[in-house]
Structure 1
Amino acid sequence: MSEPHTALGAAAAVSELPFDAVYLAIGAAAWTVAGLKLRAWRRDPSSGLLVVALAIAAPASSFLVAAPVVYRLVDRVAHVGNLATLLVYLGITGFSAAAVVLALIWTPPEERTADRVWDASRAGIRRRVRTRLAVFGVLAPLMAVLFAVGGAGSPETPLTFDTTFARVPAIAGFLALYQGAFAFALIDIGRVCHGHAGRLPAGWLRRGIRLLAYGSVTACGYVLCKIAAIGAAAAGIGGLEWLSTAAGPAFAAAGALLITAGFAGPAAAAWARRRRDYRALRPLWDLVYRADRRLALEAPATPWTERIALRDLEWRTTRRGLEIRDGQLTLRPWVDPAAVASGTRVAERAGLGDAERAALVVAVALRSAVDALASGRPPRPREEQAALPGLDADPAEERAHLVRVSLGLDGPLTAEALAAAGGPGPA
């Protein structure tokens, strides 16, 4: 008898391997995103960021626990069969609670002011949030009670719990509450995301919100498959277990990946943009640093250090921009008005737009100022100093302006303007 049991155990273990691999991978990836969101929340505390982090962390934990290898470990440690199922479903219910709160506090694009994406300050919104959370506050312990009353401790079923115990009334109630709350949350957040995405400009934010909507719709396939399989099992109809063990998990995994990508995509794009701006500003920073080394808080980073810079990019880029601005003010008395006029003429002749024209003029002006300072020319009195464009740019545009200036420092149009003004060519 021992050999058949050993063979059956090995077969079961092999059949669970794909679930282990997929669930652990999804859980780890989602927890990475959740960790980044929590880190962002610690730096900029807001109710919206916290809810997003919880909306990712709760299902991420569920996927980790749902992996059969972890599932069995939890049961062994707790000495309670199938306890992991309760933990998994409570984690998904936590996602459901976070999702319905997100749907309430997510400000429609046409109503946003400045950077306000989340709004939980209005009395009506706060009241609805409290009501929804109160419902889930009752739902979670009720699910735990039904699970305990159902006595579904044996056999241990990491993949087939739903269909195995579907005919137990208390467990059927437990499953109905779980699936109902999950379906409501998916439809609610999917509806909100679909509406918001249609009113946002093209870009990563719109892509991310659409991925959230697609992920919610995809995950609804999990609910439908589970309901069909559970209903069939409760009615004594066989042959549909695959809906619960194969089709449902496939929809859940696909939906989780899309939702995680939806939350991570805009953040990753913003990180990449900050890193690109940080590195793009280096030539301009080097220019002003050579003019006045007192501007920098610390010595210049080596090229290798900049190449591998991954953390604190917003702070580093902001500081670099401030130091560049200080350098511009320091260099202003040495700016040659002839260089400014030459840069303006070259920009007009090249047909540049307003933003590109302003960047070219500033690039030419700063190059001329550094050369004048290096050659020992005296500074111009205030009334003779040339006014440079972009100094009064609002914060949202200032960084983009400085990046354009930095990218144009060694460009052909800058060299042409400097040569026409009687200055040197390329540096």
Structure 2
Amino acid sequence: MSSLNDVLYPLAAIVVAAAFLWQVTRVITSQRDPGAIAMCVSFGCLAAVFTVSVPVVWVGVDRLLGVAQIAGLLAQSLVILFTAAQQAMLVLWSNPPARAWRTMRRRLAGVGVVLLIMAALFAVTPRGGDHSRDFAVHFAGIPTYAVYLIFYLTAFTVTKIDVIRMALRYAPLSGKVWLRRGLRLMAVGSALGLVYSAVRAADVIGPLLGADPRRWEFLAQVSTSMGAIIEVLGLTLVPRGGPQLSLAHDWWRQRRQYRRLRPLWFSLYQASPDIALEAPPSPLAERFILRDIRYLLTRRVIEIRDGALTLRGYRDPRVEAAALARASELGLKGEDLSAAVEAAALAAALRARDSDGEPVPSGQGTADAGKDTDMSLEIAWLVKVARAFAGDPVVAQARAGELMERLPETGNKAR
């Protein structure tokens, strides 16, 4: 009868083995620090754990070595070595070398003692039959194996808690945002390992209370498989692939900002073609621009500001006051309010220029073009202005020359 072991364990074995081979390549070709080597060892042990735990492999190992259920001892011993290697990795990363090696010698000595005790208890435990899918559940009721399981779970749980503690403590000190996220993801995966410990402890206690451990065995299989995959992803894909995801996200965001600025930019370009270094692409061509997007976005921001400067003499503070009043009536606040007022002022200035209006007397035109600011903040601000310029009702009124009608009669006099 098949179980989750037949599906989850092969899947976990493939994922971890791939991570192991990738890490071996990195250690051989470039990264040879002790922490990276310890990570490599941990991945190798974990890949072996899941490989041995696949039922067909389990049976094959027993037959090859000629010892009933020896695969169980091998798999659980490899689990202890895996957690010890994880612990070593974090100790080596977060401590000076001399202190790290002193700490690891003590811990590795403890691991050796645990493995010897497990082997001795396993040797005196009666074994037999095919229990490749329910090894722990079947033997948990045998006193010697129950003691074996207590030693195993104690070592595993204590080490896992230490791994979680060190991962969370080291994460803020790592200096790289994606490495911090990877270490925290590793802590999440290790926490699922504690679920496995709880299930195995219940395997010992449950029969004493008349409960059948097989009822919750799936929790052990799911938690250990998913926890291991999450840990491996946290230490490999997240730190290495995360920066690439950030670059892809930045590219997509800049491309979207570039296109959103087009309505405002194109109106300014039509009024003053000299602001552009080259003829603008068509809206359709812009959809297929893939390269140099950062440069193109920067150019578009500069050209918008240059275009706004050409309109400085046509900006009327009375229009801005009317736009502010109207936008406030519509419930706009904060930057949305400021962006709507700025867009309305530009629309009214374009209208005045197109209708051969007289420039506003010196000192009355207002604009913050050319003001030094952070480029990312400038882009975000201009995107808000462009969005308002394209569809805000206040801007539509400014474009139609209707805002001046809203001014008090004393303020709506001819210049």
**Which band: TM-score by shorter chain?**
0.5 to 0.7
> Any conservation in 1 of the 2:34–2:89 contact (CA below 8 Å)?
no
Looking at structure 2, the residues matched to 213 and 88 of structure 1 have their Cα atoms a distance apart, in angstroms, of: 22
Looking at structure 2, the residues matched to 94 and 31 of structure 1 have their Cα atoms a distance apart, in angstroms, of: 16
Looking at structure 2, the residues matched to 201 and 271 of structure 1 have their Cα atoms a distance apart, in angstroms, of: 13
Deviations 1:243-270 (A, max 9, x none): 2x21111111121111011111245427
Equivalent residue for 1:258, pick from 226, 230, 234: 230
**SS class of match (2:131):** coil
1:239 deviates by 2.5
- Residue 146 of structure 1 corresponds to which residue in structure 2? 121
Looking at structure 1, the residues matched to 154 and 59 of structure 2 have their Cα atoms a distance apart, in angstroms, of: 27
Of structures 1 and 2, the one scoring higher in RCO (CA 8 A, sep 6+) is 2
> Any conservation in 2 of the 1:62–1:88 contact (CA below 8 Å)?
yes
1:92 deviates by 0.3
Amino acid at match of 2:148: F
Equivalent residue for 1:121, pick from 82, 92, 97: 97
> Any conservation in 1 of the 2:191–2:227 contact (CA below 8 Å)?
yes
Looking at structure 1, the residues matched to 9 and 62 of structure 2 have their Cα atoms a distance apart, in angstroms, of: 17
TM-score (norm 1): 0.55
Equivalent residue for 1:269, pick from 241, 244, 261: 241
Looking at structure 1, the residues matched to 177 and 74 of structure 2 have their Cα atoms a distance apart, in angstroms, of: 37
- Residue 239 of structure 1 corresponds to which residue in structure 2? 212
Equivalent residue for 2:19, pick from 19, 33, 40: 33
* Structure 2 spans left out of the alignment, 5+ residues: 249-298, 306-415
- Residue 302 of structure 1 corresponds to which residue in structure 2? none
1:106 deviates by 2.4
**Does 1:46 find its partner at 2:41?**
no
Amino acid at match of 1:138: V
Deviations 1:311-349 (A, max 9, x none): xxxxxxxxxxxxxxxxxxxxxxxxxxxxxxxxxxx9996
Amino acid at match of 2:135: F
**SS class of match (2:136):** helix
1:104 deviates by 2.0
Amino acid at match of 2:28: R
Looking at structure 2, the residues matched to 103 and 90 of structure 1 have their Cα atoms a distance apart, in angstroms, of: 20
- Residue 362 of structure 1 corresponds to which residue in structure 2? none
> Any conservation in 1 of the 2:199–2:219 contact (CA below 8 Å)?
yes
Residues 348 and 216 of structure 1: CA distance in aligned 2, closer, same or farther (over 3 Å): closer
Q: Number of aligned pairs?
A: 254
Matches within 5 A, 1:173-184: 173-184=147-158
Amino acid at match of 1:145: A
- Residue 301 of structure 1 corresponds to which residue in structure 2? none
Q: Which has the larger radius of gyration?
A: 2
> Any conservation in 1 of the 2:178–2:243 contact (CA below 8 Å)?
no
* Structure 1 spans left out of the alignment, 5+ residues: 1-11, 108-118, 277-345, 353-427
Residues 196 and 239 of structure 1: CA distance in aligned 2, closer, same or farther (over 3 Å): same
1:237 deviates by 1.9
Matches within 5 A, 1:7-18: 12=1, 15-16=2-3, 18=4
- Residue 74 of structure 1 corresponds to which residue in structure 2? 61
Matches within 5 A, 1:161-180: 161-180=135-154
1:101 deviates by 1.6
Over the aligned positions, Cα root-mean-square deviation in angstroms equals: 2.8
**SS class of match (2:196):** helix
Equivalent residue for 2:7, pick from 17, 21, 25: 21
Of 96-105 and 19-28, deviating more is 96-105
Deviations 1:189-238 (A, max 9, x none): 111112233455673212211110111111111111110122223x2623
Looking at structure 2, the residues matched to 19 and 259 of structure 1 have their Cα atoms a distance apart, in angstroms, of: 19
Residues 202 and 78 of structure 1: CA distance in aligned 2, closer, same or farther (over 3 Å): closer
Looking at structure 2, the residues matched to 199 and 121 of structure 1 have their Cα atoms a distance apart, in angstroms, of: 17
1:351 deviates by 11
**SS class of match (1:150):** coil
- Residue 398 of structure 1 corresponds to which residue in structure 2? none
Deviations 1:349-379 (A, max 9, x none): 6699xxxxxxxxxxxxxxxxxxxxxxxxxxx
1:38 deviates by 1.5
Amino acid at match of 1:242: R
1:157 deviates by 0.9
1:23 deviates by 0.5
